[in-house]
Amino acid sequence: MARVTDQQVRKLREEMAKHGCAEVAAMRSGMHRNTGRKYLNTNRLPSDLRQPRSWRTRLDPFVEDWSAIEQRLVEAPELEGRILFEDLMLRRPGVYQEGQLRTFQRRVKVWRAHHGPDKEVFFPQDHRPGEALQTDFTWATELEVTIDGIPFPHMLCHVVLPYSNWGWITVCQSESMLALRRGVPAALVQLGRVPQFHQTDNSTAATHQVTAAAEALGHGKRDFNAEYLDLMTHYDMKPRTIGIGKSEQNGDVEALNGALKRRLNQHLLLRGSRDFETVEAWETWAQDICRAVNERRPRIEAELAAMRPLRVVAFQEFEEMQTRITTESTLVVKRNTYSVPPRLIGEHVRVRLYEMRLEVWHGGKRVLELPRLVGRRNHHIDYRHIIDSLLRKPGAFARFRHRSDLFPSPVWHLAFDALERSLGERKGEVAYLRLLHLASKTMECDVEAALTRLVELGEVPEPERVKDLMGVAKPVQAPVIAPLVVNLKEFDALLDLAVAEAV
């Protein structure tokens, strides 16, 4: 029989007050009339009448081994219930079954609550208006944003004011100092104000390893990087970080990361598409969402009133360095290799390294812009820069160190394999290089479309066949003209005639 609840008894008394009939009140409350009379004769609820049970309803299945389990928990309180149970099953085969795992884990949980070590206590903090900016990085790949149809894995540099929850974002591809140099000033420009502190976690963008002296003193803090301190000095903010392994100290921005991505996801659903023409278009769209939310933050006025006006020029967003173009028509920046046009070989250039790109400057002019590579020992070789040289030296293609970059998409691999099978290794490589040369002089997408068509038909994608599909006009042959033979006697006759007329 079902146990009567407090809600049923409240319903019983309401019905009784309406019409005064105990049987009808009990029926409408879903209980027997005798049970209804019992609760009408007392002012207490079922939860008040229920006595706590102090006995077990079934035998303890772990009674024989629990003392040994307790001893192991005393010696190593961090042991997990699952590991202890798996070890128990190995030591007592046939005694315990996998289905008893949950029961065992509950016993361990109760033991920890009664006899285990104390857990860490968290103390909620009252934030002061305009005291500090908090910055954190969060992956946005889960939003499934695409740029011109191509998946765009990236991060967001999220800057918030914890008192009002005002926030601003910039797109980045790593937790780098370059991302901070862009994200923090962008937020300050939007505010037009500067707080007293800037707080981050212990990412390598702002901090580096704990010094031996600090570790000996037990400070548990990492030292700030010189570049990060320059940024703080420029805006007259004091750097502040959280304890190592204490992510809860940055909890405000951590919590707002999830709220931000949920909000962006909802607006993407309303938009009906997650595709944007450029990275800049996606960033602008997301910042418009942040701006609309910030305007509805009721505490932002108190934040702005407590901060100093922003009176400095923007901090330099890029990192600048000088390098020389190698004989391989490449430059190396942060241990990553980029190709450049061969006309720059041997020249000294200035490189401006941004979070998402790098610019190559020569003679006071920007001559090239390239996507920035993340990590170390990566390479970005544009076949358009080197294809003319490769056609003159096709033998270099076979063992070219960065050969993988010369296949723009999977269909180019298929075309190369088909050419090698049909024409042989050497002639196939030359034919493939001619296809790359055609793409560099026309449109890569048109060449790729023709290659896809030929691969689907099972035909060999030779350059001339690709040109036919693309409708590339063949050079017109100049007509053969016979050499002009001059008869000098005709000129003599003309001179004689002119002399006769003069006489």
Of 358, 380, 402, which one is at a domain's C-terminal end?
A: 380
Sign of the Cα pseudo-torsion (208, 214, 216, 218, in order): negative
Q: Could you give the CA distance from residue 489 to residue 75 in angstroms, rounded to a whole number? A: 125
Q: Which residue, chain included where needed, has tokens 């090698």?
A: 420
The pairing of beta strand 357-362 with beta strand 348-353: antiparallel
pLDDT tens digits, residue range 235-247? 999 998 865 545 5
- What's residue 296's pLDDT? 92
The beta-carbon contacts of 255-258 under 8 Å, at least 24 apart in sequence, are: 256/158, 256/160, 256/165, 256/167, 257/136, 257/138, 257/158
Question: Which pLDDT band, with edges at 50, 70 and 90, does 221 fall under?
Answer: low
21 and 90 in a common domain = no
Q: Taking a C-beta distance cutoff of 8 angstroms, is the pair 137, 154 a contact? A: no
Contacts of 453 (CB under 8 A, 6+ apart): 469
Of 309, 337, 357, which one is at a domain's C-terminal end?
A: 309
Tell me the three state secondary structure of residue 432: helix
pLDDT tens digits, residue range 64-95? 899 999 999 999 988 999 999 999 999 999 89
- What's residue 217's pLDDT? 45
- What's residue 4's pLDDT? 87
- What's residue 255's pLDDT? 80
Question: Which pLDDT band, with edges at 50, 70 and 90, does 120 fall under?
Answer: confident
Quick one: average pLDDT of 373-377? 89
Tell me the three state secondary structure of residue 479: coil
121 inside domain = no
301 inside domain = yes
Alpha helices in 277-424 (DSSP H): 279-294, 300-306, 383-392, 410-423
496 inside domain = no
Q: Which residue, chain included where needed, has tokens 């691969």?
A: 455
208 and 351 in a common domain = no
Q: How many domains does the chain have?
A: 5
Residue 119 has pLDDT above 90, yes or no: no
Q: Taking a C-beta distance cutoff of 8 angstroms, is the pair 448, 412 a contact? A: yes
Residue type, 374: V
Q: Could you give the CA distance from residue 438 to residue 433 in angstroms, rounded to a whole number? A: 9
- What's residue 218's pLDDT? 46
Q: Could you give the CA distance from residue 231 to residue 233 in angstroms, rounded to a whole number? A: 5
Per-residue CA distances from 116 to 74, 112, 251 (Å): 8, 4, 27
483 inside domain = no
CATH number of the domain where residue 283 is located: 3.30.420.10
42 inside domain = yes
296 and 440 in a common domain = no
The first and second tokens of residue 116, run together, are 């285990």
149 and 105 in a common domain = no
DSSP bridge partners of 224: 207
The boundaries of the domain holding residue 43 are 6-49
Contacts of 325 (CB under 8 A, 6+ apart): 331, 340, 344, 345, 346, 347, 349
Quick one: average pLDDT of 475-497? 73
The secondary structure element, H or E, covering residue 438 is helix 425-441
222 and 102 in a common domain = no
163 and 90 in a common domain = no
Q: Could you give the CA distance from residue 49 to residue 70 in angstroms, rounded to a whole number? A: 35
Residue 488 has pLDDT above 80, yes or no: no
305 and 325 in a common domain = no
302 and 343 in a common domain = no
440 and 348 in a common domain = no
- What's residue 53's pLDDT? 66
What is the overall mean pLDDT for the chain? 88
Q: Taking a C-beta distance cutoff of 8 angstroms, is the pair 386, 329 a contact? A: yes
Percent of the chain with pLDDT strictly greater than 70: 90
293 inside domain = yes
Contacts of 228 (CB under 8 A, 6+ apart): 177, 180, 205, 206, 207, 239
414 inside domain = yes
Of 260, 286, 309, which one is at a domain's C-terminal end?
A: 309
410 and 456 in a common domain = yes
pLDDT tens digits, residue range 163-214? 999 999 999 998 889 999 999 999 999 999 999 999 887 676 777 655 554 4
- 3-state SS of 208-271 is CCCCHHHHHHCCCCCCECHHHHHHHHHCCCEEEECCCCCHHHHHHHHHHHHHHHHHHHHHHHHH
346 and 417 in a common domain = no
293 and 148 in a common domain = yes
pLDDT tens digits, residue range 283-311? 999 999 999 999 999 999 999 999 999 98
Which comes out higher in pLDDT, residue 276 or 375? 276
Sign of the Cα pseudo-torsion (353, 356, 361, 366, in order): negative
Which comes out higher in pLDDT, residue 366 or 207? 366
Entry pTM: 0.66
373 inside domain = yes
The pairing of beta strand 330-333 with beta strand 197-200: unpaired
Q: Could you give the CA distance from residue 286 to residue 266 in angstroms, rounded to a whole number? A: 12
From the CA atom positions of the chain, what is the Rg in Å?
39
Question: Which pLDDT band, with edges at 50, 70 and 90, does 265 fall under?
Answer: very high
